[in-house]
Amino acid sequence: MEIVINISSGLCLFIGSFVCVSGGIGILRFPDFYTRMHAVGVTGTLGAGMILIGLMLYSTDFLVFAKLVMILLLTLLISPTTSHVLAKAALHNGLMPKLSQNTVEQSSLEQESKETASSKS
Amino acid sequence: MIDIVLLTLLLAVAIAIIRMKDLFAVVMLSGIYGLLSASFFVAMDAVDVAFTEAAVGAGISTLLMLVVITMTGRSENTTRHKPFPALLLVVITGCLLIYGTLDMPYFGSADAPVHSHVAPRYINDSMQEIGIPNIVTSILASYRAFDTFGELVVIFTAGIGVLALLSSVRRPDNGDKIVCINYSMHEQHLVVRIVTKMLLPFILLFALYVQFHGDFGPGGGFQAGVIFAAAIILYAMLFGLSTARIVINQPFIQLISATGVLLYGCVGLVSLLNGGNFFDYNFLSNDAITGQHLGIFLIEWAVGCTVASVIIIIFFNFADYRERQQSNENEHNQESP
């Protein structure tokens, strides 16, 4: 039983740290604001969440477990919300996502990116 | 090792703040600076100070500066003159200060005056004399109560200053705005508002926890007041000033801020009348330890009230001033064409 818990906890921790590292690389490598923010959002929610779950499996004390659950809930609530607010503020201030030529043609049918098409043409 | 990393980051942020022209970015960087120094304090095991720094330096002061930036505009004025005399003066002062540090004891040395003067007495006797586990709180609220009183008066004075400069008699108008807030909620800020509504009770509860748990762990009136005010400010930012003004009655909150200072002073006066020194809580009750507990409880409560209400006052007055500015501009724009 113990070995199962240990392995699953280690797996969660590994996935979490991998997501965090890839998020960090993403911030540096992605082309524009929105994709970078996606990297940050993934780091905040999935990376931190996985690490917290891994720690939760590993914890023996109930109090530690409860604290970790609370931190997880708070992270799950706040992190997506902040990403959402950031994206909304950027869009509100007229920052348009960088799109490749194909996607511009496809999405020009949609309502949201009408302005994008007009500004590009 | 972690000290060096944190200090390097602090230095980098400080240089970036000096170099940056965009004031919005400068405010954000100063928030990061506050957070970094908070982690630095945690690394040095000063959790109380770190808590205060995280709440005040990274949280509230960033927010208040953002509110100010909405009034002053985003970019820094370019300076034409070359301030060489000022640079010379700064360099000389810096050299003198560094020369002064040569006389100081080596960092972390055991025979430094700070470790041999009053600190041993606080660490050894605090438990018998005050009877609460958190030594920082016992120093702040009991041994150094007079200093804390001064800090509280400074905060109160800041609130009075903002009130004197920015407040105005409110016209009883814009009742229509309040009605339309509930309709606009479904279009704008929907996600943020719902999440905020879920989180607000917990933020307020956490503020109360910090307030009453200050005797046993990191926390106390200052941090609790700031957290409480942050919850109210969050509400005001998302649901509009006019809605928040219904929740928070302005004259009432001004009364609370004054009452906090008064309560603090009265605790000192009562101990004076009972035959002790000013802020000698031993005389508040028959039993010395009970008196200390009562005094610290009352004083933390007073600090929390004043800090929370002063920050709310500052935010509301700044935001109110901004709103009036905007409405004046709108009227001008409507008249001129």
* Count of residues making up chain B: 337
Pick the residue with more confidence: B169 or B107? B107
- Cα angle B30-B205-B220, degrees, rounded to a multiple of 5: 60
Residue B10 CB burial class (10 angstroms; 0-12, 13-18, ≥19): middle
**Is residue A19 within 8 Å of A46, Cβ to Cβ?**
yes
pLDDT at residue B337, as a whole number: 55
Number of H helices, E strands in chain B: 15, 0
Model pLDDT, residue B237? 85
As to burial, measured by CB atoms within 10 angstroms (0-12 exposed, 13-18 middle, 19+ buried), residue B12 is middle
Q: 198-227 in B: which are within 8 Å (CB) of A? A: 198-199
Fold of B1-76: Four Helix Bundle (Hemerythrin (Met), subunit A) (1.20.120)
Q: Characterize B249-278 residue by residue with b for buried, 16 or more Cβ atoms within 10 angstroms of its Cβ, and e for exposed.
A: ebeebbebbbebbebbbebbebbeeeebee
Q: Is A77's CB within 8 Å of B191's CB?
A: no
How far apart CA B292 and CA B130 sit, in angstroms, is 6
Compute the half-sphere exposure of residue A36: CA atoms within 13 Å on the CB side of its CA: 11
- Smallest CA–CA separation between B113 and chain A, in Å? 39
- CB-based contact, B190 to chain A, within 8 Å: no
Average pLDDT of the residues in B30-51: 91
End-to-end CA distance of chain B: 64
Predicted pLDDT at A113:
47
Q: Which residue has the higher pLDDT, B248 or B223?
A: B223
Contacts of B192 in chain A (CB under 8 A): 81, 84-85
The ipTM, to two decimals, is 0.71
Mean model confidence pLDDT for chain A:
82
B187 interface with A at CB cutoff 8 Å: no
Chain B residues in contact with A77 by the CB 8 A cut-off are 195, 198-199
Q: Can you spell out the DSSP letters for B255-273?
A: HHHHHHHHHHHHHHHHHHH
Instruction: Give CA–CA dist B283/B327, Å, rounded.
Output: 56
Chain segment B102-111, per-residue pLDDT in tens: 888 877 777 7
Average confidence (pLDDT) over B46-61: 90
Is A85 in contact with B198 (Cβ distance < 8 A)?
A: no
In angstroms, the CA A23 to CA A43 distance is: 5
Most A CBs within 10 A among B192, B193, B209, hence the mutation to make, goes to B192
Which residues from B are below 8 Å from A84, CB to CB?
191-192
Is the dihedral angle over the CA atoms B315, B317, B320, B324 positive or is it negative? negative
Compute the C-alpha angle B54/A40/B69, nearest 5°: 50
Residue type, B260: G
Mark yes or no for CB contact A81/B198 under 8 Å.
no
Query: Count of CB atoms within 10 A of residue B224's CB?
Result: 27
CA angle B137, B141, B145 (to 5 degrees): 145
Confidence check: pLDDT of B31 > 90? yes
Q: Is A77 in contact with B195 (Cβ distance < 8 A)?
A: yes
Residue A76's closest chain B neighbor by CA?
B195
B191 interaction partners in chain A (CB closer than 8 Å) = 81, 84-85
% residues pLDDT > 70 (chain B):
93
Q: Give the sign of the dihedral formed by CA B271, CA B272, CA B277, CA B283.
A: negative
Q: Which residue of A has its CA nearest to B193?
A: A81
Which residue did the predictor score with more confidence, B179 or B105?
Answer: B105
Contact (CB<8Å) A84/B198: no
Q: Which two tokens stand for residue A14?
A: 């590994």
Residues in Cβ contact with B159 at an 8 Å cutoff, skipping those fewer than 6 apart = B257, B309, B310, B313, B314
Confidence of residue B328 (pLDDT cuts 50, 70, 90): confident
> How close does chain B come to A82, measured CA to CA in Å?
8
Which sequence spans correspond to the domains of chain B?
A: 1-76, 134-337
Q: Of B53, B271, B27, B321, which is closest to residue B141 (Cα–Cα)?
A: B271
Q: How far is B188 from chain A (nearest CA, A)?
A: 10
pLDDT tens string B123-164:
888 888 887 888 888 888 888 888 999 999 999 999 999 999
Name the closest residue on chain A to residue B198, using Cα atoms. A77
CA dihedral sign, ordered B144, B147, B153, B154: negative
Output the DSSP codes for A30-66. Answer: -SSHHHHHHHHHHIIIIIHHHHHHHHHHH--SHHHHH
Separation in Å, CA of B238 to nearest CA in chain A: 12
- Mean pLDDT for B228-241 is 88
Instruction: Convert the pLDDT of each residue in A8-34 to its tens digit.
Output: 999 999 999 999 999 999 989 888 888
Q: Is B192's CB within 8 Å of A77's CB?
A: no
0.90 exceeded by pTM: no
Residue B312 backbone dihedrals phi, psi, to 5 degrees:
-65, -40
pLDDT at A120: 47
DSSP, collapsed to helix, strand or coil, labels residue B276 as coil
From the list B12, B245, B295, the residue with the least C-alpha distance to B131 is B295
Instruction: Please check whether residue B309 is in contact with residue B253, taking contact to mean a CB–CB distance below 8 angstroms.
Output: yes
Q: How confident is the model at residue B173 (pLDDT cuts 50, 70, 90)?
A: low
Return the exposure string of A14-36: e unless at least 16 CB atoms fall within 10 Å of the residue's CB, then b. Answer: ebbeebbeebeebeeebeebbeb
Q: What is the pLDDT of residue B219?
A: 82
The pLDDT, as a whole number, for residue B158 is: 92
Could you tell me how many CB contacts below 8 A there are between chain A and chain B? 12
Partner residue facing A84 (CB), from B191, B198, B199 = B191
Among A40, A43, A65, residue whose Cα is nearest residue A55: A65
Residue of A nearest to B197 (CA): A77
> What's the gap in Å between the CA of A81 and the closest CA on chain B?
6
Residues facing residue B75 across a β-bridge: B22
Position B170 confidence tier, pLDDT thresholds 50, 70, 90:
low
Low-confidence ranges of chain A (pLDDT < 70): 100-121
Q: Which of A45, A63, A71, A81 has the most B C-beta neighbours within 10 Å, making it the best mutation to test the interface with B?
A: A81
**Highest-confidence range of A11-25, B94-108, B177-191, by mean pLDDT?**
A11-25
